[in-house]
Structure 1
């Protein structure tokens, strides 16, 4: 399926870029090929609270027009109640990074995305473990 890019790709300190489309049509299985097709690596990780906060700041301007939020894939996984980097290494992130009521223990919720609100003070944003077949607006890629 051909996708139309909505916003300019950005780069920030952790050497990541985001690709954001105007529609929710990127499953997790689409995420890695999108990163590779743009020669910008693989889906990225979120390493700590500071990295997460920087990411939100840079993603907010990319929220599609007329929307209050966007959903983006990372390269992270969630298995056996553990958050994993794309390398498979276990990582613990601050509680405030998680979307309210997440992580979920559903074993099909193996991949990690991030929900970003246009409004910084909005409660319903953060990372969440979700089924890889769900469609999001895009992906964060490591460079």
Structure 2
């Protein structure tokens, strides 16, 4: 994947190279927010992490986020990869909620008081570790999942 041009026509959001986060660092622009993404490999694992910030006066349904992450796990396996884990932590003044996915065949485990929606006061961090999948392919799948959630 060539990061130096707008790839919104491939449905993975508008990617701009971010020289401060390394070769696989990107800022993603979505209708409802932005995300700072970093990716790297370690042995057979591809790792993608991102921090999502929602725009003021917007929100996204919590259940939609969970569904998108479950779909991401299925997409990883459809591409021949193995889900190591997908973790998300949404934090705000009222508390935090964790999402954990370790297998595409199992539903996400949600711990903590799940809000109906996340708004701009929430901090959302996501980490995806997968085996036997190319890093650029995993980044594309993660971007697509975020586009489904954040527009």
Which has the bigger relative contact order, CA under 8 A and spacing at least 6? Answer: 1
Which protein is richer in helix relative to its size? 2
Shorter-normalised TM range: 0.3 to 0.5
User: Which has more strand, going by share of residues?
Assistant: 2
TM-score of the two chains, using structure 1 as the length reference: 0.33
